Every structure is written in C-alpha cells, then in structure tokens.
Amino acid sequence: MRTYLVTGGAGFIGSNYIHYMFKKYGNEIRIINVDALTYAGNLENLKEVQDRENYIFVKADICDKEAIAKIFEEYDIDRVVHFAAESHVDRSIKNPEVFVQTNVLGTAVMLNCAKAAWELPDGSYLPCKKFLHVSTDEVYGSLPEDETAFFYETSPYDPHSPYSASKASSDLLVKAYMDTYKFPANITNCSNNYGPYQFPEKLIPLIINNALQGKKLPVYGDGKNVRDWLYVEDHAKAIDMVQEKGRLFETYNVGGHNEKQNIEIIHIILDTLQEMLPADDSRKKLVTYDLITYVEDRKGHDRRYAIAPDKIKSEIGWEPETMFKEGIRRTIQWFFENEDWMKNVTSGDYQKYYEEMYKTK
Ligand code: NAD
Ligand code: DAU
C-alpha cells in the first residue's frame, strides 16, 4: 500500500485533496496528515475520513525537525504532498515573520527529513519516492492588464508580498535540492482556488458570509484586480496527476483559464445567491449590490494573475473541468449546507482578526 505524507491537510486545499484521494483510491493508499492546527487548520474538515484505518492524523509543526523525522522513521513514506504554509497575503503584510518561519524554514525541514529518510548510500532514490511542493502563481509577480500576457513555467520570479516572497524562497529551496542532490521532487504553481472548506478571510467565502448577513462587502482599491479562479477539486486532481504522470524535477503551472476582476466575482456571487435562496428566506432581501463598499487598497496589490496551463495539458493531459458558474453554485450550496462550520470558524479569533484587518478600511 502506498503511503502519503500530506502536510497542512487540515487546511482548505489539503483537506479537499485528502477527500479527493480517498474517493479515488479508497483503501489502496494510506494518508498521514501532519498539521499544526493553526487558525487555518480545522479537523472538522476531515470528520468524514477521521475513522478510516488508512488515515492517521499527527499534530506537529513542520518546523519541528524531531517530530517530522519521527514520522519518517515510524512510517515508510512514499509520497510527500507539501501544502502546509501560512497562506494569506493580508496577514503577511501585517506579520511577515511567521511566513518566513513556516514557509521557508518549514519547507527546509520537510526537504531535509525526506532526503535523510529516502537517500540510498549511492545518492540515488527508489523510484516510488516523490515529493510535491504546492506553490502559487504569485511568485511570478503581477501581469499587465493586456489579456495576451500569461505566466509560464519559464516566467521570471518577481514576488511582491511577504507571502509570495516566502513561497518563492521555498520554491528555490526545492529547486536547490533537485539540482544539488537529485532529490525527486516536483513543484506546482497554482492560481486562486475556491470551493468548500475555504477560510472566510479569502475573497469568495468572505463575500458569501458577509452577504448572507447583510454586512458590507469590502472591495480593495478599484475592484479591477484580476485573479484566475480554479475549483479546488480540479487542483486536487492536478496534484495527483503530476505525481502519477509528471516528469520528475519539473515545474507545472495549474490554472483555471478563468480570469475575472474582483468586482465581477462579487456581482456573480450576489446574483447566484439571489437565484439560489428560496423566495421565503429572510436573507434574500439582505443580499443586494448596495452592500458593495470600496475600501483602502491592499499594499503592493498585484494587478493581474493569469496562468497558461499549456504544459500540464500537453504533457499530462490535465485541464480545468469545472466552469465558474457551476463551481460557484457548488461552493454556495456547500456553505448553505454547512452553516455550523461557518459559525464555528468565525467565532472567537476570527472576530478579532476581522475587526483589526478592516478597521482602517
Ligand atoms: P490554508 O491556510 O487553508 O491551510 C494551511 C494549513 O497548513 C492549515 O491546516 C494550517 O494549520 C497548516 N499549517 C500552517 N502552518 C503550519 C506549520 N508550521 N506546521 C504544520 N502545519 C501548518 O492554506 P490553503 O489555501 O489550503 O493553501 C495550501 C497550500 O497551497 C499553501 O502552500 C499555499 O501557498 C498554496 N496555494 C494556495 C492557493 C489558494 O488559492 N488558496 C493557491 C495556490 C497555492
Ligand atoms: O494566486 C494564488 C493565491 O491566491 C494563493 O497563493 C494564496 O494563498 C491565496 O490566498 C490567494 O491570494 P489572493 O491574495 O489573490 O487571494 P484573496 O482571496 O486574499 O484576494 C483575492 C482578491 O480579492 C485580491 O485581489 C484582493 C481582493 N480582496 C480580498 C479580500 C479578502 C478584496 O477586494 N477584498 C477582500 O476583503
């Protein structure tokens, strides 16, 4: 049975990936999920799989060398899928240090421990051993508004926020391990994900949550910044396909072919909520365009991201499958059916975060 070590599996993309993998492979695989359970990690995301015999949760910080080395000693790990990171740009602007700690140092610990466990005396590795580093399109910086400009795997790194600088550093460490030790790895750089279990500090769940409560919808700057949105399950599939079919040592960009301005996203969410809420639902009258509130811009706000996922399509056969109209309906439906999840994650610390983050906006 193949054993996966997933880091950050209690977060948004990690938990969706674990669900995807169990749906696809069932009892053919075993997953060890290591997560420090920061504000962004939530074991509720995994309650459907927690009793499986082939799922093990280990609470540990990826910066803790001993704890990570122990996992490699205890389990014969074949694949690492490394999601764990501090992931929110706004938080990185307020407090960059923890981003360097987790994203850079934590990745170094993961690489070191995997290398120590996997490297054979002659410096080679068994073919079953593979490390996948999950990264972001933000490492490439910002594109002009010209719709013919895209990020490619060959685009130069030009990160602007502390978050993207820390992810770029972690990518370069992975590249250094591949070049120096022939360490068997891949990097994927993905665009903006959306879907179930996303923490409501990010644009889409924040807008859904605020709109349903008739609260202001904060739009940074002129609302015309462009992001390329990908349904999270399509991302999970891409990660699996890269490990199964990708060439080792290669980077693959993963994108949704779905560029939209932030203000368009907000309009689509409001229209879709209106369509989906039953006529007698009291929230229907709260959901209006009047909630849209332009606020101070994000510092260093990247204007446009867009990925041309040509390489992953031609080499591996992956393509985004979920149209935005369908993906956003599924996401909203999930939030309707999981109101308690939203209540639980937005109680306590989230309230403090929200007041602090938006007080000057
Ligand atoms: P998330 O913030 O929802 O989840 C991060 C998870 O990592 C949480 O479960 C958290 O508890 C865990 N974690 C944080 N610090 C840790 C530490 N020191 N040790 C162990 N666990 C720790 O993030 P996400 O949106 O699911 O993103 C996952 C990965 O995908 C990140 O590496 C991110 O950079 C990358 N990515 C995200 C997007 C996106 O749109 N969300 C797009 C491209 C790439
Ligand atoms: O591109 C991939 C990246 O996408 C990932 O690497 C990051 O982990 C992920 O958080 C995401 O980063 P963004 O900064 O693009 O996502 P966010 O949801 O924070 O913001 C999306 C856009 O919406 C961005 O232009 C800022 C804007 N925004 C965001 C919030 C939270 C608003 O206008 N208002 C808001 O309240």
Segment among 142-146, 184-188, 323-327 with least mean pLDDT: 142-146
With 80 as the cut, is the pLDDT of residue 361 above it?
A: no
**What is the predicted pLDDT for the residue at 256?**
82
- Residue 164 CA to ligand 1 center (angstroms) comes to 13
Q: Is 177 a catalytic residue?
A: no
Interval 339-349 mean pLDDT? 90
Using most ligand atoms within 8 A of CB, pick from 87, 170, 198 the residue to mutate for ligand 1: 87
Spell 287-318 as b/e; 16+ CB within 10 A means b.
beeebbeeeeeeeeebebbbbbbebbeeebeb
- Specify burial of residue 342 (Cβ count, 10 A radius: 0-12, 13-18, 19+): middle
Q: Could you give the domains of the chain?
A: 2-199+230-256+301-321 (3.40.50.720)
Q: For the chain, where are the alpha helices, taking DSSP H only?
A: 12-25, 65-74, 89-94, 97-99, 106-118, 162-181, 203-212, 232-245, 262-276, 310-316, 324-337, 339-346, 349-358
| Strand ordering across the sheet containing 29-35 | 55-59, 29-35, 2-7, 79-82, 130-136, 185-190, 251-254
Q: Report residue 125 as tokens.
A: 């590795």
Q: Taking residues 107-112, what's their average pLDDT?
A: 98
- Average pLDDT for 221-228: 98
Percentage of the residues of the chain whose pLDDT score is greater than 90:
94
Q: Confirm if 151 and 307 have CB atoms less than 8 A apart.
A: yes
Name the catalytic one among 35, 138, 201, 302.
138
Q: Which residue among the candidates 137, 201, 233, 259 is catalytic per the annotation?
A: 137
Q: Which atom of ligand 1 is nearest to the CA of 106?
A: 18
Kindly report the length of the chain.
361
Q: What local confidence, expressed as pLDDT, does residue 297 receive?
A: 98
pLDDT value of residue 242: 98
Q: What is the mean pLDDT of the chain?
A: 97
- Ligand 2 centre from 266 Cα, in Å? 13
C-alpha 90: how far from its chain's center?
A: 15
CB 302 near ligand 1, within 6 Å: no
Q: What does the pLDDT read at residue 74? A: 98
Cβ of 37 less than 6 Å from ligand 1: yes
The answer to whether 252 touches 307, Cβ cutoff 8 Å, is: no
Give the per-residue pLDDT at 351. Answer: 80
| Greatest Cα pair distance in the chain | 70
Find the mean pLDDT for residues 214-222. Answer: 98
Binning pLDDT at 50, 70 and 90, where does residue 354 land? confident
